[in-house]
Structure 1
Amino acid sequence: MTSTAAPISGNQRRKMRSASRLYAVQALFQMEHSDQSVNAVYLEFLDHRFGAEVDEGTDMIEGDEDLFRMVLDRAVDQQRPIDQMTDRALVAKWPIARIDPTLRALFRAAGAELMGEETPPRVVITEYVDVASSFFPDGKEPKFVNAVLDHMAREVRPEAF
């Protein structure tokens, strides 16, 4: 049996991976505020976000399911070490519990990717700074995210720098 699906271009794959990172931040935020399980949120995103029609004629980008699942699972399984790593990167008076919940979810998602070796740290930093820019287009948060993630990346993957 031959597949009729068109092959995914490199550019489309990058867009799907970027969308998955955005979805992962949203999912981690949702999990924190709703006490839903990782499996429940994962299925909800697959059913209602990946490729969903937002408005007539406007579709959300299909995500990379494998990346999305890996980020969610690792962020949940490794939350304590990721939060500790984030705390070390933050100013002493601003532990992770005091920061904006969207940023907290973002640091957990980025930390999950940094703890693996699938993606180069500089790519992780760039991708999550872009995610921060989508949530905070006019704020200083993207620069803050860049600084914190740079610190985290240098701690967990120093060989990459």
Structure 2
Amino acid sequence: MSRSKTRSAARLAAVQALYQRAMEATPTAQLLHEFHQHRLGATIEDAEYNEAEVEFFDDLVTGSIAREAELDAAIAARLSSGWSLERLDRPMHALLRAATYELLARADVPVKTVINEYVDVADAFYDKREKGFVNGLLDAVAKDVRG
């Protein structure tokens, strides 16, 4: 499987892991273990999970958790007036955290790739309006963190 496909799978899984952590307060080590053992490349209820680049997945999850406050500040700075992080639903918040982490910490990945990939992740959960929101917000965050 191509690197871009394994990275796409890692991004989707990272968003799912961050969402699970938000819902259940799962400790990081347990979260990574669960995903390594049961999700990445697995078949669950006839749904086949694509093989994911495990090191990339681990970096997205652990980095997003470790830098949560910094990521939230970067996201909040670009929300429209009248919007707060608390107004974002948990899957959106998880998606934006993972994407912002990647923009901040993974200079090896081009901005355009990061934005396009997370718009694709948004497509798994949301309609067109939310995809536009993700695109616009990440574009603004990218200008802040990558210049």
Q: 1:147 matched to which residue of 2?
A: 136
Amino acid at match of 1:66: E
The Cα shift of 1:123 comes to 0.7
Q: 1:59 matched to which residue of 2?
A: 48
TM-score by length of 1: 0.87
Q: Deviations over 1:121-154 (max 9, x none)?
A: 1110000000001111x34100000000000000
The Cα shift of 1:92 comes to 2.1
Amino acid at match of 1:35: A
Q: 1:47 matched to which residue of 2?
A: 37
- Residue 77 of structure 2 aligns to a residue in which SS? helix
Q: Deviations over 1:37-72 (max 9, x none)?
A: 11111110111111111345x521111001101111
Q: 1:83 matched to which residue of 2?
A: 72
The answer to whether residue 86 in structure 2 is matched with residue 108 in structure 1 is: no
CA distance in 1, matches of 2:36, 2:142: 29
- Residue 44 of structure 2 aligns to a residue in which SS? strand
Q: Deviations over 1:60-115 (max 9, x none)?
A: 11110011011111101111010001001111211112111111000100011011
CA distance in 1, matches of 2:12, 2:49: 11
CA distance in 2, matches of 1:102, 1:53: 22
CA distance in 2, matches of 1:97, 1:84: 12
4+ aligned runs moved over 4 Å, structure 1? none
Amino acid at match of 2:131: P
Q: 1:118 matched to which residue of 2?
A: 108
Structure number, greater radius of gyration: 1
Amino acid at match of 1:99: L
CA RMSD across the alignment = 1.2
Q: 2:11 matched to which residue of 1?
A: 21
Q: 1:4 matched to which residue of 2?
A: none
Gaps of 5+ in 1: 1-7
Deviates more, 1:47-56 or 1:28-37: 47-56
Which of 115, 124, 131 is the equivalent residue of 2:121? 131
Deviates more, 1:138-147 or 1:20-29: 138-147
The Cα shift of 1:118 comes to 2.3
The answer to whether residue 71 in structure 2 is matched with residue 71 in structure 1 is: no
TM-score by length of 2: 0.94
CA distance in 2, matches of 1:118, 1:79: 21
Amino acid at match of 1:47: Q
**Whose helix proportion is higher, 1 or 2?**
2
